[in-house]
């Protein structure tokens, strides 16, 4: 139901949580249902084999079976050792971390207090018709970590929201999370209604007594009554920021009737004016994720998927911070990252991320930001060299203070592997010299600290970080770390049949 993938397509795929090797780092491309996932590459197979071998060897020496070892900090380190062995030394990791539990635990403990604001997370509504997600969720079962759920039957909503909370807050170092969503021209196919997102925000924050969760209000330019919904959200929901999709209906692209441009003076400028009057100045816009197979099927939406409308909107509305989700990265899915790395090696550019990074210089603006999302998740697991190149491109063009952390969790499982990937990633020196890229630096150094949370904290005026250190969520997390089952290492999208 819905999405880019048809029923026939889905019959050729498998739910990732059922068939994929539960590695700390995914060893296959995972798709939500926006693109066709590419088959496992030879190098991904090599990484998987090395992870298994190290898990059996190092795990046995620590008295752990393979599954348990891969849930530990040593298991995560082993996965990055395997990545380095196959792709080259891109990640800062020592063999001692994989071999010695105390060494890995010491590093993990030293970074546990790092402030991480994930401005891009998802879960689904209880009555969703988008079965590509639901079927993968049904196997999650009871979420025993939450005492409020013990002793009563859970609904699909409980499973979805509870598992999102577990994966994001308990199985990763995420401090604060934004609940995002996606609209549709059919109201039944919204991931979550605006009210559902804000209800979840209220539930968590009321229980925690802190601002653990934020929420987007989704806006749908051109849809009948869309500005009435904007007014309602302003008055009743008080959004943290706004999010829209310029292709319109991203879930059912074949039904999309209302694509739009950010620089449409008639349609969009009254919206910008209205939210500024309401005290809102953050507009998040989904761009990119439009590889050739999507282009071929929906060519009429291609003019709305790129970034040629961003610069003028940003220049005309300097008071608004425009956050471009996925940093407009185009090359997901079948052949995706391979196309991207070939393009970068030939030209030093990657569609449409390089174009985004050049907007500040071209238009003389400083209010354009890049969210990482799938740009980081997809390239890390297929072509980590491309991931390094894209990070260098974004920082060189937008500035390290204009790149924000988002993971698109929970489609690719707990975001901890992405957190660890950025903590450890470094741009190779040869690439730095060739393209004028700055080094990323230490895991808790200034550049990565800005990206992980500093930039978004500034944008969202998030000031009371110390409150998070001992709120109920922090206490649940400590108990979970001591007594819980451990990180599942599951992903929840779809992978190509082996």
Question: Residue 345 — φ and ψ, nearest 5°?
Answer: -65, -35
Give me the mean pLDDT over the 134-140 stretch. 37
Q: Model-level pTM?
A: 0.88
pLDDT, tens digit, 9 for 90 and up, residues 265-282: 999 999 999 999 999 999
Backbone angles phi, psi at 479, to 5 degrees: -65, -40
Domains for the chain: give ranges and CATH numbers. Answer: 7-112+492-496 (no CATH), 117-468 (3.20.20.140)
What are the phi and psi torsion angles at 478 (to 5°)? -65, -40
Q: Using one digit for the tens of pLDDT, what is the confidence trace for 370-409?
A: 999 989 988 998 899 999 999 999 999 999 999 999 999 8
Give per-residue pLDDT as tens, 339-371: 889 999 999 999 999 999 999 999 999 999 999
Tell me the per-residue pLDDT of 460-498, one tens digit each, with 9 for 90 and over: 999 999 999 999 999 999 998 888 777 776 665 555 555
For 55-110, write each residue's pLDDT tens digit: 999 999 999 999 899 999 999 999 999 999 999 999 999 999 999 999 999 999 99
Question: Looking at 55-69, 114-128, 219-233, 268-282, which range is the least confident one?
Answer: 114-128
- For 1, 36, 193, 241, 323, the CA distances from 233, given in Å and listed in that order, are 28, 34, 11, 11, 20
CA distance 378 to 218: 24
């Amino acid at each position: 139901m819905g999405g880019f993938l048809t029923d026939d397509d889905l019959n050729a795929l498998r739910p990732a949580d059922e068939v994929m090797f539960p590695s700390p780092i995914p060893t296959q491309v995972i798709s939500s249902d926006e693109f066709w996932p590419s088959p496992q590459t030879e190098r991904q197979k090599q990484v998987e084999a090395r992870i298994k071998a190290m898990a059996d060897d190092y795990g046995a020496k620590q008295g752990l079976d393979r599954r348990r070892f891969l849930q530990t900090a040593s298991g995560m380190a082993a996965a990055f050792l395997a990545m380095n062995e196959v792709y080259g030394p891109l990640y800062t990791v020592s063999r001692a971390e994989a071999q010695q539990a105390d060494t890995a635990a010491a590093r993990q403990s030293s970074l546990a207090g790092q402030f991480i604001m994930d401005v891009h997370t998802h879960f689904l509504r209880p009555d969703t018709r988008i079965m590509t997600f639901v079927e993968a969720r049904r196997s999650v079962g009871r979420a025993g970590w939450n005492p409020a759920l013990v002793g009563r039957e859970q609904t699909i909503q409980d499973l979805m929201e509870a598992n999102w909370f577990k994966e994001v807050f308990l199985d990763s170092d995420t401090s604060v999370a934004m609940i995002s969503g996606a609209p549709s021209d059919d109201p039944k196919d919204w991931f979550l209604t605006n009210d559902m997102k804000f209800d979840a925000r209220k539930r968590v924050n009321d229980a925690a007594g802190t601002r653990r969760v934020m929420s987007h209000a989704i806006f749908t330019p051109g849809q009948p009554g869309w500005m009435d919904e904007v007014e309602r959200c302003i008055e009743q929901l008080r959004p943290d920021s706004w999010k829209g999709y310029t292709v319109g209906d991203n879930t059912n692209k074949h039904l999309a009737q209302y694509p739009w441009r950010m620089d449409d003076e008639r349609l969009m400028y009254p919206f910008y004016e209205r939210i500024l009057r309401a005290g809102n100045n953050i507009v998040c816009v989904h761009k990119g994720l439009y590889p050739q197979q999507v282009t071929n099927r929906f060519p009429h939406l291609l003019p709305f998927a790129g970034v040629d409308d961003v610069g003028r909107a940003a220049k005309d509305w300097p008071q608004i911070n425009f956050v471009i989700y996925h940093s407009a990265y185009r090359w997901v899915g079948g052949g995706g990252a391979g196309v991207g790395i070939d393009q970068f090696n030939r030209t030093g550019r990657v569609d449409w991320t390089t174009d985004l990074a050049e907007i500040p210089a071209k238009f003389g603006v400083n209010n354009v930001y890049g969210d990482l999302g799938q740009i980081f998740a997809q390239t890390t697991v297929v072509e980590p060299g491309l991931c390094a190149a894209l990070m260098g491109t974004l920082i060189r063009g937008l500035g390290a203070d204009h790149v924000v952390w988002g993971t698109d969790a929970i489609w690719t499982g707990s975001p901890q592997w992405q957190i660890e990937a950025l903590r450890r990633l470094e741009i190779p020196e040869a690439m730095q010299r060739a393209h004028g890229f700055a080094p990323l630096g230490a895991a808790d150094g200034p550049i990565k600290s800005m990206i992980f949370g500093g930039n978004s904290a500034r944008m969202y005026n998030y000031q009371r970080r110390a409150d998070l250190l001992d709120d109920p969520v922090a206490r649940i997390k400590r108990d979970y770390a001591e007594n819980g089952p451990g990180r599942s290492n599951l992903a929840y999208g779809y992978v190509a049949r082996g």
